[in-house]
Structures are given as C-alpha cells and as structure tokens.
Structure 1
Amino acid sequence: MQPISVYRQERLEQRRPPRKQLAAAASTFVAVVLLLLLLPGEQAEAKRTAIPLPLDITPAEVDRFSPAAEEVIAPVNHWQETKVRSGESLSIIFQRHGLSAADVHELLTGTELTRPLTRLRPGQELAFHIEHGKLLGLKVKKSEMTTLLYERAPDGFQVSELNREPEIRTRVTSATISSSLYKAAEDADMPERLIMELANIFGGVMDFVYDVRAGDHFIVLYEELYLDGERYKAGKILAAEYVNRGRSYQAYRYTNTLGKTGYYALNGESMQKAFLRAPLEFSRISSQFNPNRLHPVFKTVRPHRGIDYAAPRGTPVYAAGDGRIIEAGYTRANGNYVVIQHGSQYITKYLHLDRKAVRKGERVDQRQIIGWVGSTGYATGPHLHYEFLLNGVHRNPRTILDKLPKAKKITATEMSQYRKAVHGMHLQLSTYAVQAGYRSPSNASVDAG
C-alpha cells in the first residue's frame, strides 16, 4: 500500500494538463486581447461619426474639419509700445530700444514728414516694429483719433495716417440760470468749449453780458464722441433753446444746398446777424450809453457815446462784424484802439486795449480776435470801451441792432427740406422741455425767431 502523500501526488499529476496545451492556450489569449484593443468599439465608432462632413466637401477642404484646424493661433504682435519721457529726443528713445544714431538718420532722411518726429512731447505714445535689430516701422500717436505710421519701403519710409472712428451719441442737457450762463452751464456738466459755442450761436440775438437774467434757462442737444466705450470729448451742438425773460430763442444746425453750415431759427432765419450783440463774452457791463455821464477820471460831465465792458485784462475782444480795419493805433486818451469800417454805413470802435491783434488795412471776419482787454489811456481799470456809429452818428449799441435789416433766411425753395431736416431735433427739444417742466404740453411747439 502506497503512502497517502504519494497517492495525492499521482492524483494531481492526472488532473494537470500537458505543458504544450498550456502554452497554446496562453498564446491564444494574448492574441484575442490584442485584437480587442486594436479594433474600435461601438462607442469609438460613434465618436468618429458624430460630426458629419458636408455633402459637397472637396478633398482639398478635408483639412478644415480635422481636430488641428480647431486650434486658434494667436497673431504675433511685433510692436513694442513706449512713451516719451521728459527730456527725451528721438535719438535717446531709439537708443533705449537698441537702435543707433544711424537708424535715426535713416528715418529722418527717408521721409518728408519729419516734424512730428522732432517735436515729441512727454507722455506721447510711440510703437516700434524691430526685427533682427532693423527698424521696420514706427507709430507716432498724434491724438486719440490719429496715429502716424512710418513703414520701411525700398526707397525710404512711407507715411500714412491711421484714423479711428468714434462712436457718436447724442445728449440733452439743460440748466436754469441763477447767477451767470457760464456757471449754470458748468454745473450742468457742459464742457467749456460748448459753453462758448452756445454763446456764439445766440450772440446775434442776445447780449450775454447784459441780457441774462436769473430764471432764464437753456436746453442743449449735442453730440458726444466715445472711444472704447468711454467718453472722449464733446462734439457739435445740434440744436439749442434759450429762454430769456420768457422769450424763446431756438437754433438748429443745418447745412444748406451750397454746403454751408450754420444755425437757423425754426422759421429759417439765420442766427448769425450782421453784428454781435457784444464784442466779448461773459463779463459784466460797467457803464451804459449815456450822453450826460460823469467821467470817472476827470469828474466832469462828458458824453459817453458807447458801452464799457469790465473784464479781466487779456480777455479777447472780437470784431462785431465783417469789415476792414481803418485805424489801429495809440492815443493818450484812448490808449490802444481799433476802428472797423463795416460797409458804407457802419463803424465800430474798440478802446483801451491792452494789445492789438490787427493792423490798418486788414480785412477781418465777425468774431475774429482784434485785441485784448486792457486799461491803456484814460481808464480806471481793465475794460473795453465799445462804440457804434451809423452814418457817422454815435448810436446806442444796445438798441441800434434791433433797427438793422433782418438776417438772411433759408430760401423759399429750400424751406421744405430745412423743416424736414430739423423736425427731429425740434421734437427732441420740445419733448425735453415738457419733461423738465420748462413748458406745458399744450405749448410744446413754440416757434422761435
């Protein structure tokens, strides 16, 4: 009888398969696994066919639908931006960017437009395009709207302007005057340039030195220019209304068939009159026309054949109308003075100027600067003495203008076109006036003139 251990060993030997069979089975298993890994499954096949190609695709277009085509390649920015530092010249800026004096000379001699390159300002923005140490381009920012581009060409540098187009929005603002037009407009967040333009528009129908009263109000419709979503600056006034002591004056910007742009009342009458109501702006009147006034220096009764406008020294003085300078000089009594001939009937005089800006014989346009307020001659302080003569006779400048011929109007043939052009602006002013409480709905179409 065999021992038990030997018996168990024999039984195990009988159950174990031959080694050749094991090797064959292992080989078969490996082959099956590899086959399963190489063949796509249903899910992989679904992914492969999830995005069908267009039916009319050409072989040349197949690459557009490959995964690599979906990658976005960022553009390469070759421009190096910088700002001009205080005291820097073009040579120093070039040196700071690894360029030599020879590069500066090549640029300045390779273009005709050299002025912007030699008159750089601290803080001004520049940009360089340099490759392998060679200057290929230079940008010089002139303003928020304009940049000069210097690009290398075979025969030097070509210059072109890059102009940005701002977004234009319209805005309506208004204010009631308590002390002065300037203060009210400033409180209404109107830029100073627009305040001056507002006075210019109504300067033919109102004397903003003398006529303004507390309780007057104005409405202004104007453009605002935006860059990159931020307000850049104010544009032009499109329409405006000024109510002085209950009387409404309205003005609308319009370009006529001849291409001339101006401001007109709703009835088509031009706001630009032959003479300004006042030859300077935003001052106070110190002495009215008075043939029997007491002279402030000599304390005697002497005729005062004009109006004195007290103003700070250096305030610009404007020509009241188009004309020719017939006198421009100095006398002990008048100080520095200017006399303008307007046509054959009218003469205006401007005395006690600090300085003159014109010479005898020159032609001047209305609102052109002819000098600046001073206190030369017999004057107790800085002011302008202004006189108006009609056919050689002194007339009161404040009343004579109402008796002069009316201003030109829009022609009858163009009136229909004018009314269509300003209708929308008139509606905006009227609607705003009602909303602001300046006007009742029943009186929303006040005609100015």
Structure 2
Amino acid sequence: MNDIHNDNKNARHKARRLLIRRHAQRRHFHFYSRVSNWTFLQNVSASPISWRAEHWILGGVCVLLTALVGIVIPTFANATRHEPSPVPYTTLALDLPQLPGDEADPAIGAYAANSEPDWQVVTVRAGQSLSDIFREQGLAPTDLQRVLDSQDDAVALRRIRPGQEFAFAHAPDGSLSAMRFERGDATRVVLHFGAGGVSEAAVERAVERRTHVAHGTVTRSLFYAGERAGLSDGMVLKLANAFGYDIDFAQDLREGDSFSVIYDDVYRDGERLRDGDIIAATFVNQGKRYTAIRYTNADGETTYYTEDGRPLRKSFLRTPVEFTRISSTFSTGRMHPVLGYMRAHKGVDYAAPTGTPIRAAGDGKITYRGWMSGYGNFVIVQHNAHISTAYGHMSRFASERLGEHVKQGQVIGYVGMTGLATGPHLHYEFRIDGGHRDPLTVTLPPPEPLPASQLAQFRQQASPQLARLKMVDAMQLARAND
C-alpha cells in the first residue's frame, strides 16, 4: 500500500518538473534556441579547433579568478603579519683621557717616520734619459742636479737602460720628497729631500742565481728550438754568440742539429730579475760536436773555452765589418776603378753603408792612424811580431789613439769612401812579416790555450759541468731510441 502511495507521489513531482520546464522554455524561448547548440567538447574529426563564445567566457572567468587570487592572498598575508617591536638602545657619553700637553707619543712619531712613501713607479723606455723622466714628472732641472750631486758615483743614474725602474714620491705641494732607484742588482737606494739637503739610505737586497738545464733539437729555426726548450730569445742569442766562431748560424744550421745547455737566471728577493749566463753548452752541427765552457782567467777576462782549455774565440775575425757584399777580391792585377790602369789589389773590399762600425780583427796595438795616400783615413794594428792588419777608406776614426792597445772586436773606425774610392767600403789587408795575404783564404793561427798554471783550475771547474752535459746528452739519446 505504501509502495503505491510513493509511486503516485513521485509521478506528481515528475509531472510538476516537466510543467515548470515547459513554462520556462516558452517564456525564454529565444535564449534556449540560441544556446542549445553550445558545447565545450568539439568533434575534432568533424571540424578544426576554433575559439567559440563559450571558450571566451570560460577563459575570461579563469583570468578573473587568477587575478583575484593574486591580489587577495598577498593582501591578506600582509594584514596578518606582525612587525617586530623595536629594541631600545641607550647612548652614553664617555670622556676620553687627555694627552699630555708637553710631550708627544713616541710610538706615533716613529710610525710616521717609518711609513712608506706613496711611490709613483716609472719604467724607462728606449731612448729615454733621466732628464726626460724628470721632465715628465713635472720636476725642475735643479731637482735632477741635486740628485746627481748627492752621488759620489752617478754612473747608475747617467747610464740607464730600458726596463729599469725609478720611483718618485711627492710632497703635498708637488715638490720632490723622495726618490728610489737600483744601484746594481743587489743595492736599492732611497733618497730623501729636505730643507737640510739630500739624505741617502742604501738597502742590500738578496740576489741569487738559479741554474737550469735545457736541450733542444733544431726543426724550423734555432729560436723555435730554444723556445721549445724553455730558453728566452736573449739566451738563444748568447748560445749563438758562444759558438759563433765555429758555426755560421745563417748558413751552416741544419734540421736535426741539437744543443744541450746549462744556464742560470738572476733572482732578486725571490723574483726573477733577468737572464743570467750560459755556464756550459754543447752544440752538434752537421754531426760535429762543439763544446763551450765559461771561465774567467787570471787576467779577469771571462770567455768560453773548449774542453782542452783553448778559447773558442779565434785569434782573428775573418771579416771585421758587417758588409753587404764583397765588391773586390784580393788580386795581383786589377783594373783600378779610379786610376784606370792595372794595379795589384792587396786586400779585400767589403761594401757597406757609410758609418758602419769597423772592428779590430784581433788583439793588438795601433801603429798607424792617419791619412794614407790612396787609402784615405787608414789604420794599422800590429798583433804580434809577425802579423798585422790594415783598414782603409774610413769616414772617421774611433776614439783610440796611436800607440793604444785594442781588443778583438773593438771599434776602431767607421766605413767611408775617403781616398781613391767610388763608393763606401772597407779595404782590409792581412799581412805576415810585411807580405800581403788573401784575408779570405789565409790560414789563421789557432788561439793560445790557457797556460799550465791555470789549466788545472779550469779542468777542476769544468769537470762537473761536462759530466752534467754528457748525462743530458745520454738521456736524450735514450729517449730517441725508445
């Protein structure tokens, strides 16, 4: 009975809902007809995706909700935040103790006296003099004169070199208050300028030499081989100069030539200062091995020697001038370019620009210096009882005087074309017992070895260096055979 009653009740509710729906549809017929085809799920296979009105409405609602959340939540968070209460501070005024009025604190005075000046460091450029540096610093010539007058030996200031450093400190009024420079590798000099004059303080600096060993094989060039072995260009030049009497590095160098070298660097206060010297070296050129050992003899002369104590430096230079070409060779009969007739040419003419330095071919004494008919400015150097050399057509002489002794390589004059000459060149003669020899083919006498009194000391000094070089050569040979 109850089930029948419930069914009748549900039927009435359903009929009532249908009646309300039909009433709403009739009342809002236009709206329902317009939105009856709205859908958010589109049949993709039937038509491409496109934005419809319902999409725009849904998107706008999402944007609005996002904006509301972004504005309301931070505002609510700030509203609920509590600022910490400030911490109270108390300020007290403290009285400092008074300094004695009649005396100063000696510690403060000592600190002020020993404080380091505000140095302005200047590095010497090529061609600069100390006068140029002072002028760039805005200092007067009188300041430079005060500096020079303060030095008993001012060579370190008169002969400055590129890369050298000078430091200056200025007073508040711009005047020079202090100057700093190096007097040699081991001494730093500081000059202080005051009303009472110039005071000097010399500081000794720790200088040491650190020894290195290098080995290289020539592939492209000697400089490239030296760079790969860790040598500077300056050290490579020293290596070439040591063997320059036996090897012509412009023409004789071959790929596969090798060298081993013991050298040192100069360090000051733990920092590298400059290249040192080559202590010992070997060079293999076209299969021939040459050795150079640095040694200072009893006369204080430092040069390189072979293993048996004979100087690498030859007794005579084959060519005493850097020439561009040989303009005339030695001949018993040559048509003279000026006189116009056959005449013996008893020397070799080296064409070179006017002013090129002419060097003494060997150690000796100047026995003639003056004008010689046909030769112009002429110099004769007597080397020993049998050998002399002569140099003609000089544009001018060097500073050496008649009777002075000269060393091999010392400049004795400059190329010119004085006398009977058609162009600037050096006329060079080599004479033995007064007879002329061809300078290009004459057999030059070998240099004299060290005397017996020095030979034992030389061998004692050279022995460990030679052993070290042989060990380096053996290591390189072993590596090559691996």
User: Which residue is 1:78 aligned to?
Assistant: 116
Q: Does 1:252 align with 2:290?
A: no
Q: Does 1:261 align with 2:302?
A: yes
Deviation of residue 306 (structure 1)? 2.5
Within 5 Å, which residues of 2 pair with 1:35-114? 77-83=115-121, 88-89=134-135, 92-93=138-139, 111-113=150-152
The alpha-carbon deviation at position 396 of structure 1 amounts to 2.7
2:277 is aligned with 1:239: no
Rounded to whole Å, the distance in 2 between the matches of 1:399 and 1:208 is 17
- Greater CA deviation, 339-348 or 321-330? 321-330
Instruction: State the 1:253 CA deviation.
Output: 0.7
How has the CA–CA distance of structure 1 residues 235 and 92 changed in structure 2, closer, same or farther, with 3 Å as cutoff? same
TM-score by length of 1: 0.59
Structure 1 gap segments, 5+ residues each: 1-72, 95-100, 442-449
Residue aligned with 1:397, SS = coil
Whether 1:418 and 2:458 are equivalent positions in the alignment is yes
Question: Quick one: structure 1 residues 151 and 369, their matched pair in 2 at CA, closer, same or farther if it must change by over 3 Å?
Answer: same
- Alignment partner of 2:363 out of 322, 341, 355: 322
Relative to 1, partners in 2 of residues 1:305 and 1:163: Cα closer, same or farther, differing over 3 Å?
Answer: farther
C-alpha change, 1:433 and 1:292, in structure 2 (3 Å) is: farther
Give yes or no for contact 2:205–2:269 (8 Å, CA) kept in 1: no
Amino acid at match of 1:423: S
Shift of residue 422, structure 1, vs aligned partner: 1.8
Distance in 1, Cα, partners of 2:179 & 2:133: 20
Give the 3 Å change call, closer, same or farther, for CA 340–140 of structure 1 in structure 2. Answer: same
Question: Residue 434 of structure 2 aligns with which residue?
Answer: 392
Report the Cα offset of residue 356 of structure 1: 1.5
Instruction: Confirm or deny: 8 A CA contact 1:129 1:138 kept in the other structure.
Output: no
Structure 1 stretch displaced more, 275-284 or 419-428: 275-284
The answer to whether structure 1 residue 354 and structure 2 residue 395 are counterparts is yes
Q: Which amino acid aligns with 1:373?
A: V
Q: What TM-score do the two structures reach when normalised by structure 2?
A: 0.56
SS of the residue 2:409 aligns to: coil
Residues 354 and 375 in structure 1, CA contact (< 8 A), matched pair in contact too: yes
Structure 2: gaps spanning 5 or more residues = 1-110, 123-130
Indicate the SS of the match to 1:419.
helix
Superposed, 1:121-140 pairs within 5 Å as: 125-128=166-169, 138-140=179-181
Q: 1:177 to 1:330 in 2, by over 3 A?
A: farther
CA distance in structure 1 between the aligned counterparts of 2:292 and 2:466, rounded to whole angstroms:
9
Per the alignment, do residues 199 and 364 of structure 1 end up closer, same or farther by CA in structure 2, a change over 3 Å counting?
Answer: farther
- Bigger radius of gyration among the two: 2
In the TM superposition, what is the alpha-carbon distance from 1:394 to its structure 2 partner? 0.7
Q: Say whether 1:213 aligns with 2:249.
A: no
Residues 138 and 239 from structure 1, CA distance in 2 versus in 1: closer, same or farther, beyond 3 angstroms?
same
- Superposition RMSD in Å: 5.1
Pick closer, same or farther for the CA change 1:253–1:352 going to 2, 3 Å. same
Report if the CA contact (8 A) 1:81-1:125 is conserved. Answer: no
How many aligned residue pairs are there?
Answer: 353
1:368 match: 410
Partner of 2:344: 303
Distance 1:385 1:355 in 2: 14
Q: What SS is found at the alignment partner of 1:359?
A: coil
1:126–1:141 Cα contact (<8 Å) kept: no
SS of the counterpart of 1:291? strand
